Structure 1
Amino acid sequence: MQNFELQQIINHELQVERYRDYAPNGLQVQGRKQIKKVITGVTACQRLLDEAVKLDADAILVHHGFFWKNEPPTITGIKYNRLQTLLSNNINLFAYHLPLDGHPIIGNNALLADLFNIEVDKREDITDLLFKGTLIEPQTPLQFKQKLEQVLHHRSREILFCGDNAPQIIKRIAWCSGGGQDFIEAAAEQGFDAFFTGEVSERTIHIAREYGINFYAAGHHATERYGIKKLGEWLAKKYDLETIFIDIDNPA
């Protein structure tokens, strides 16, 4: 498959034209024309690039790529090193950010619903990244915290939780993968028992306490490793590409 053909296929599946994003979605760095082997991962960090070189990959497909809004435009430091690795080895870099969070089947948030047995509310707009639903089996706040730790971290670390003044049984729940902590007010105002995301800000805890909503910060990387892996599996099955998911661990 050719690199621009692969871009067209993924762009169509993820409906990238519908999103206003913080970085370009699609082919960010052009490499060799023909693609047979694709490395997938959450972030285009140097370790992932080096692994792709070792495996003689034709392309890297990630959730977090390069060229973010408001970042310095100069190509120096680690940005220079990363681009040099790609260009000198003729490797393509594809990145898909918000479209991979919002996809109703292979997106990060949809897959989190599958993992935690949440029946997702009907969504009118795929670009709305505040997902809402109902736990198929209601749980206590502590039970849900333990489930998050077990599934996302394999009990390797304790996640941040705030349940002050919050419901003692969780039925209705909202969530947004990654850095979605600022959705907490919308979740609370709509009457949800709990809200989980990847990150936390100092203000988030005060908001959770004052609204009386259970809040969980389960890790940015941990909540966003599933979409890119599933996208690679979808490509391998439908287009006969060799895809290899490499999980570069990140506790944040």
Structure 2
Amino acid sequence: MNHLELETLLNTKLSSGAIKDYCPNGLQIEGKTEITKIVTGVTASQALIEKAIEREADAILVHHGYFWKGEPEPIRGMKGNRIRSLMKHDINLYGYHLPLDVHPELGNNAELARLLDVEVKGGLESKEPSIALYGELKEPMLGTAFAQKITRVLNRKPLHITPEIGDSLIKTVGWCTGGGQDYIELAAQHHLDAFISGEISERTTYTARERNIHYFSAGHHATERYGIKALGEWVAREFGLDVEFIDIDNPV
């Protein structure tokens, strides 16, 4: 497949042009014209690039790419090494950030809900699409039991902050993968029983305790493995390309 054709197909599927972001979405580093082998992963780290080189991949497709708003512009140091490696081996880099977070079918939030058996009811924000969602557990359970389920599903033990009322039954849940911890305030305003995100801030602990809401910090990387994996599987299924998901371990 032509590399620009693939970008058009991805942009269309994820409606990337309609979503305001703080990084460019789409083809970020241009490589060879024809693509047959794609490596997908959460972040375009040097380790993922090296794996793609080993696999003789024509393209890398990630959730966390390059050129973030406010980052230093010079291409040097770690940033220079990454881009140099891609260009030396003629590898295309595609990155999709918020469009992949919010996609209702393949997105990070949608995939997390599917994995944790949560029925999506809507967005926590009034705008569309909402970055954070809420829904209901198909099987209500105590907070300690839900923490154990997250551990099994994501292969990562979450940090569980219990509310001041102690362990209690969870029926309704809000969530935002990655660095979405501050949406806990909206979750509390919706009177939800629990909120899940990837990262946690110092202030999040007190919000959870004082607003009587269970909070689970399940890891930025761990909560965002599944959107990019699903996107790659869609590309393989729809267009017959060889796509391989590679998970570079990250404890955060």
TM over 0.5: same fold? yes
**Aligned match of 1:149:** 151
Provide the residue aligned with 1:73 in structure 2. Answer: 73
- Cα deviation 1:2-39 (Å, max 9, x = unaligned): 11110000000001122111211000000001111000
Partner of 1:128: 130
Are 1:140 and 2:142 matched, yes or no? yes
| Stretch deviating more after TM superposition (188-197 or 161-170) | 161-170
Name the counterpart of 1:159: 158
The aligned counterpart of 1:33 is 33
Runs (5+) with no aligned partner, structure 1: none
- 2:46 is matched with 46
- State the one-letter code of the partner of 1:160: L
After TM superposition, list the pairs within 5 Å mapping 1:208-247 onto structure 2.
208-247=208-247
Q: Trace 1:193-212 onto structure 2 (pairs within 5 A).
A: 193-212=193-212
Aligned to 1:15: 15
Q: How far, CA to CA, are the matches of 1:158 and 1:135 in structure 2?
A: 19
The amino acid across from 1:158 in the alignment is K
2:213 maps to a residue whose letter is I
- Residue 179 of structure 2 corresponds to 179
* In 1, Cα distance between equivalents of 2:158 and 2:133: 20
The two structures, once aligned, show a CA RMSD in angstroms of: 1.2
Structure 2: distance between partners of 1:127 and 1:203 = 26
Equivalent pair of 2:150/2:157 in contact (CA under 8 Å):
no
- Counterpart residue identity of residue 133, structure 2: F
**Which AA in structure 1 matches 2:184?**
I
TM-score normalized by structure 1? 0.96
The alignment status of 1:190 with 2:204, answered yes or no, reads no
Q: Give the superposition deviation at 1:127.
A: 2.4
Amino acid aligned to 1:38: I
Give the length in aligned residue pairs.
Answer: 249
Amino acid paired to 2:154: L
After superposition, the C-alpha distances for 1:138-172 in whole angstroms (9 at most, x for unaligned) are 0100000000111111xxx5321111225611001
Contact 1:102 1:126 in 2 (8 A): no
- Counterpart secondary structure, 2:160: strand
| Letter matched to residue 137 of structure 2 | L
Gaps of 5+ in 2: none
- Structure 2 vs 1, CA of residues 126 and 105 (structure 1 numbering), >3 Å: closer, same or farther? farther
Which has the larger displacement, 17-26 or 92-101? 17-26
Give the superposition deviation at 1:126: 4.8
Task: Please say if 1:85 is aligned against 2:119.
Answer: no
Contact 1:18–1:127 (8 Å) recurs in 2: no
TM-score of the aligned structures, taking structure 2 as reference length: 0.96
